Structure formats: C-alpha cells, structure tokens
Structure 1
Amino acid sequence: MSTPLLELRNLSKSYNGRPVLANLSWTFRAGEFVAIMGDSGVGKSTLLNLVAGLDTPDAADGSSIIIDGVPMAGLDDDAATRLRRARMGFIFQAFHVLPHLTLLQNVALPLLLNGLPVARAAEMLDAVGLGGRGNDFPHQLSGGEMQRVAIARALVHRPALVLADEPTGNLDPDTAQGILELLRREIKATGACAIMVTHSHIAAEMTDKILQLSKCGIQETTFVQPFEQ
C-alpha cells in the first residue's frame, strides 16, 4: 500500500456559526487520483481551501491537516508558504493567471520560485495544447485556454499534491478528456496525489477513487449519487 501523503483528522469548519464540515477524517495516498463529488454547498471547495492553507480549520474540535507527516498547524507562515510552494499545485476555478505575465512566464513561475530549470514550462504549455503561444498574454485567451494555462502551471514543478477545483469546467469534452489523461499521467509518473472536485460524472470516472461528500461526512463510492446543480 502506498504511503499516506495527506491526512485529515477531525476536520471541521464553520462560518458565522454555521457548520460546513464536521469531524471529517480521511487519508489520501501517494499515487492516487481522487474525485470528490457532492451537492453544491456541501463544502467541497472549502475542503480544498483548507488543505491549500487558504483557510484555517476550526481549532476547538482538534482539526488537523497533515502533509507528508507534517502537521500544518505546527508551521509558521514562512514554513507553510515554502511547503505549499514546493509540494503543492493548485487548479482553481478562478484560474489566478497573472495578467501582466506571458503564458510562458505564468507557467514558469513555480519553477523559478523553487529554483528549478525553466525549460519544462514550454513542455507543459505544449502538453495542454498551447505550444507556440508562450509569448501571448492572458487577455488574448478564452476561459478554456486560461484554464489550461492554470493546469500547466499547477503541474510544471511536479508537486506531490495537486488540488483541482472543477479543472475541466470550461473545457469542451475532447479537450477535457486530454487534460484529465495528462493529469493522470503526471500523477502516476511522479507518485503524486491529486484531489479533484468535480460535478462531472465523466471526469470522476477517470479517477482511481470517487468520494462522496455530504452532511453526513465523506465515504468512498463506486456509484455516483445524484446531486443538485
């Protein structure tokens, strides 16, 4: 069995007294490509934000997030930033592509921040179907193209943990298929773990494991339950 890469222990989060996640526990292992599905508003994006360190869990319930055996709560801001920069890749619905940088510069950013050779940036742009457009700027792209830039940037430094929030939401079916195949290849080649929030049954079926998130918690399923849009 592969080693635990991410552990959630009694993870809870409330907003203005309203619980969104309550006592959630699960272990994600190296080499796994996992889909998380569930009704809108059940806390799927909140879960990714907590793991990414963009939000903090409720401390009173003993919530903890452990990455590679390191409790995130025990890290100061600088250490947490270094861990995220080196070990994580993020694909968010809002893209967060930097408008003042070219596509190649956007994709190369994680490599530069981690002191890695930048040649792989052009390779990843080509892998997402944007080869030859490295000198273009984000304002020249469609939403689907910006999503592909964000995916290339998330994978370029070979992170141990990839967090993807609806990564195929702006893509046509054929492009989405290719992107999911790329994501899967990268994960398997590097022994990383990817957690993908998706509403797409087709996307979920390409993963190793489907988890259903509900108000009752999280559980593995081989049948994707109907959910509300």
Structure 2
Amino acid sequence: MLELRNLTKTYNGRPVLNGLSHQFQAGEFVAIMGESGVGKSTLLNLIAGLDAPDGGQILVDGTPMSALDDEAATRLRRTRMGFIFQAFHVLPHLTLRQNIALPLLLNNTSQGRADDMLAAIGLAGRGDDFPRQLSGGEMQRVAIARALVHRPALVLADEPTGNLDPETADSVLSLLRAEVKANGACAIMVTHSHAAAAKADKTLVLTSLGLTNARNVN
C-alpha cells in the first residue's frame, strides 16, 4: 500500500532520515515511536506530501509521489488520505457537522456519515455547535472524526491522543483501529505514549539507523 525507498532528509546540515526504507500494508495499524528530534513528524510530513525528501521515493499503491503534479497530488491526499496532526486545524467558522463533513464535501459524496462519526466520538446531538464551544480534547475528537469520515486508504496521525484523557484516548484509538480494519486501510501513528502504541498491530522504533520492529501482535 505504502512503500518508502531509501528516503533521506537533512535539516540545517543535520541528517534526519538517512536511507530509510520500509513497506506498510493495507489493513495494518502501525505505531512509530522514538526519541524527540529523530524525525517522526518529518516522516509523516514526507508521506503526506507536505514536504519533499532530499532523496529516495515514496510510493502509494505503486505510484511514486514525485511523479504526480500538484493537482494529482492534491487529489490523492483529498481522496485517499486522512490526517490527524497535533494542531487540530478545526475551522472556527464551521459547525462541528460541517467540519467533519468537509472531506465528503470536497469529494462530492454524501455527507450523511458526518452524524455517524459525531456519535462515534461521543458528540452526538452537537452537530450545530461551533468549535469555540469545545474543549481541546473535544476538538481533537472532531479532528479525528474528520480524518476518518471519508474512509481513507491511508491515515496519518501525529500524537492523536496528546490532548485526551486516558479513557477518551482509549475510545478514539479503538475507533481508529475499527475503521482501519473495516475499510482495509493503513494507519501510521506517531506517538510517545506506550498505551497508545499498545492499540496498534505493530510498533516500530525510529532511530538514526531506520525503523526497527519493536513488537508484533496478531
């Protein structure tokens, strides 16, 4: 589903990623851990196409991202990817329902699933509320619902439970896992939380030597 081939990236003369290669499969929920500054968020940004590697290739379904023009890359992100980043990026002038339904609107598909996702994150009946009425944890839940609503093939999550209490974190990670399995998607989650990583099928540790397989579960 996703293949990284010999990725390199340098910031301010310091190598962050040095010849990184790995394959991620459909239906797989992978956690990536590692020390701060090792390049975990950089890796997600490269996969998302928000930044470009200095060398190597990123292939989605066998297609190199570098072979896509801006329009094709944007279309791929819009239709095939879902993003959960540390900054919520919840739009303040839209209701909760409108925020969650945004990927459906952009893809010209039915917006009915937005209310289902509101219920799934524990905010049923609040579709007409605005982000200013939410706590930080609630806004993160909305961001997670928006990332999943269009059933993306690839979900990229950067510390998705950082603003959530343990009970809510467990609930939304269960939702993320269920969506990945139901849709045959691939999810890659960067986290410092061992409790969050325990929800994944596989935990990889990113070091200067690359991605090391920490554990596997059935």
Q: Please classify the TM superposition score into its range, dividing by the shorter chain length.
A: over 0.9
Give the C-alpha shift of residue 82 in structure 1: 0.2
Distance across 1 between alignment mates of 2:95 and 2:7: 38
Match of 1:213 in 2: 206
Match of 1:127 in 2: 120
Give the C-alpha shift of residue 53 in structure 1: 0.8
Match of 1:51 in 2: 47
Structure 2 unaligned residues grouped into runs of 5+: none
Give the C-alpha shift of residue 10 in structure 1: 0.6
Distance across 2 between alignment mates of 1:143 and 1:26: 34
Match of 1:226 in 2: none
Match of 1:32 in 2: 28
**Normalized against structure 1, the TM-score is what?**
0.93
Look up the SS of the partner of 1:56 in the other structure: coil
Q: Which of 133, 138, 144 is residue 131 of structure 2 equivalent to?
A: 138
Distance across 1 between alignment mates of 2:63 and 2:94: 34
Look up the SS of the partner of 2:140 in the other structure: helix
Match of 2:17 in 1: 21
Match of 1:191 in 2: 184
The correspondence of residues 60-99 of structure 1 with structure 2, limited to 5 A, is: 61=55, 63-99=56-92
Match of 2:4 in 1: 8
Distance across 1 between alignment mates of 2:91 and 2:192: 26
Look up the SS of the partner of 1:116 in the other structure: coil
For these two proteins, the number of residue pairs brought into alignment is 216
**Normalized against structure 2, the TM-score is what?**
0.97
Match of 1:177 in 2: 170
Residue deviations 1:16-65 (CA, integer Å, cap 9, x gap): 2211111100000000000000000100000000001111100xx3x100
Distance across 1 between alignment mates of 2:111 and 2:124: 15
2:171 maps to amino acid: G
Look up the SS of the partner of 2:173 in the other structure: helix
Q: CA RMSD in A?
A: 0.9
Look up the SS of the partner of 1:151 in the other structure: helix
Match of 2:103 in 1: 110
Residue deviations 1:68-105 (CA, integer Å, cap 9, x gap): 11100000000000000000000000011111111100
Structure 1 unaligned residues grouped into runs of 5+: 224-229
Match of 2:148 in 1: 155
Q: Report percent identity of matched pairs.
A: 73
1:165 aligned to 2:131? no
Distance across 2 between alignment mates of 1:222 and 1:192: 20
Look up the SS of the partner of 2:98 in the other structure: helix
Give the C-alpha shift of residue 206 in structure 1: 1.1
Q: Which runs of 4+ in 1 moved over 6 A?
A: none
